[in-house]
Amino acid sequence: MKIMRPLGAIGIVASAALVLTACGSDPAANKSSSNSASAPAATGTAQVDCGGKSPLSGEGSTAQDKAVEIFKQQYGKKCQGQQVNYTASGSGAGVKQFNANQVDFGGSDSPITGADAEAAQKRCGAEAWNIPLVVGPVAVAYNLKGVDKLTLTPTVIAKIFNGGIKNWNDPAIKAVKGNESLNLPDKPIQVVSRSEESGTTDNFQKYLGAAAKDVWKQGAGKKFNGGVGNGAQGSNGVATAVKAGDGAITYVEGAFAKDGLTPALIDSGSGGVELNAANVAKSLDAAKFLKEGSNDLALDLNAIYASNTPGAYPLLLTTYEIVCSKYSDANVAKAIKAFLTVSATDGQKPLSDKGYVPIPQSLQDKVLTAAKAIA
C-alpha cells in the first residue's frame, strides 16, 4: 500500500471496570416478557428479556468491529438463536445507514449531534440515543526503526499532522523530555490518515483542538483536515499502511496498535504517559455527559483532552451504538434492549483479550438504565 507525505497518527479503544453476568440462555427465556435489567453490583446479575427480531442489523465504526464480534457471541450464548449482523464500514456510513432506516442500530466513534441527530429523530419518530459500549484511548502509533519509546506532546503531534514538522530529526521532537537520548533519523515523516469519514478522525481532531489549540487550526469533523499525508480505508487499512513504511505514523484504535506499530507516550505537561488501562481509567474519572440526567449518554471529553492530570492518558475515544429511544417495531425494540444489556455485562470482560478495556461500573449502570427505557 502506498504511504503518504508527512502526517500523523493515533488510535485505540478502551474503558475500565467490573463485568456482570447476564441471564436468559434458557430457550424458555426467549419467550419471557418481564425480566428487566437491574442496576448491577460487583456480584449482581443483569436480567435479560430475550427474543424479538433476529438477526438485528447494524453498521458503522471499524474501531469497535472486534468488540461487536464479542458482543454477538455473548448475545448468542445468553439468548439462544438470536443473531446480529454488523458491517464495519466506518462511522460516517453507519450514521447514514441508520438515519436512512437501513439498519437497526449504527456504530459511531463520536456521538451524533446537529443535523445527524435531527435526521435520526425523524427516522425514529423519537429521540435517538448515543449508548457507549467501548470507551478508551486513541494511540498515536508509529513505525520507526530503532525507536521503541517515543514521547510526544500535543503541540508536536499537531505540528506533525498539519505538516509543521516534516522530519523525524526535527529539533522539536528531540526536545521533548524523554527523547534526548534517542537517535532520531533524518527521515521524512509519512503521515497516514483515514480516507473515509471516521469518528476516530473526529475524536483525534477534537483532541488536537483542545490540547494544542494554538497550533491546530484545522478544526474537527469526521474528515481529516490536516492537509498532509495520504489516506487508507478503515482501522485495518491505516495500521497496514504504517506497518509497511519505516517512518510512518497514524491514528488508530489501541486494538490495532500492535504487531509492528508502537504507541507513543503523550506528555501533556506532567511527563510522558503510556497508553494502558490504568492510565485510561485516571482520565475517565473526570468524564461528564453532554446531557446530564438523560439516557442519551454522549460523553463530554473536552475537559479530558485539555487536562494535565499526572499519569492520566488524555486521548480517548468512545464508540457508541446509535439507537432509537422508541422503535416502531416492538420486535426490534425487544432485541435491541437484550443486545445492549448483554453487551454491557457479559460482553465486557472478554474485551481485554482484544486490546479493549471493560466500561466502568458507573457507566455500566447508566447503559443498563437506558437499555431498559427503550420502547
Band of residue 2 on the pLDDT scale cut at 50, 70, 90? very low
Could you report the per-residue pLDDT of 328-367, keeping only the tens digit for each? 999 999 999 999 999 999 999 898 877 777 887 888 999 9
What pLDDT is recorded for position 316?
Answer: 86
> By the 8 A CB rule, do 228 and 163 touch?
yes
| pLDDT class of 68 with cuts at 50, 70, 90 | very high
Domains and CATH numbers, the chain: 21-136+288-304+317-373 (3.40.190.10), 138-281 (3.40.190.10)
In the numeric block, which cell numbers belong to residue 365? Answer: 449502570
- The pLDDT, as a whole number, for residue 17 is 33
Contact 12, 135 (CB under 8 A): no
| Residue from 21, 26, 17, 18 nearest 44 by CA | 21
Residues contacting residue 104 through CB under 8 Å, at least 6 positions apart: 53, 56, 57, 58, 323, 327, 332, 335, 336
Helix axes 199-211 and 91-99, enclosed angle (nearest 10): 120
Chain mean pLDDT for the chain: 87
- Report pLDDT digits (tens) over 35-67: 333 333 222 357 899 999 999 999 999 889 989
pLDDT at 76 over 80: yes
Alpha-carbon gap, residue 240 to 250, rounded angstroms: 10
d(CA 362, CA 183): 44
Q: What is the arithmetic mean of pLDDT over 200-209?
A: 94
| Model confidence, pTM | 0.72
Q: Residue 122 pLDDT more than 70?
A: yes
Residues 6+ apart with CB under 8 A from 222: 91, 92, 110, 197, 198, 199, 201, 202
Q: Mean pLDDT, to the nearest integer, of 79-101? A: 96
* Band of residue 286 on the pLDDT scale cut at 50, 70, 90: low
pLDDT of residue 29: 33
Percent of the chain beyond pLDDT 70? 88
Mean pLDDT (whole number) for 117-132: 98
pLDDT at 10 exceeding the cut of 70:
no
Q: How many CA atoms lie within 13 A of 286 on its CB side?
A: 19
Taking the chain, what is the end-to-end CA distance rounded to the nearest angstrom? 46
148 vs 351 pLDDT, higher one: 148
Q: What angle do CA 354, 355, 357 make, to 5 degrees?
A: 105
Asked if the model's pLDDT at residue 323 lies above 50, the reply is yes
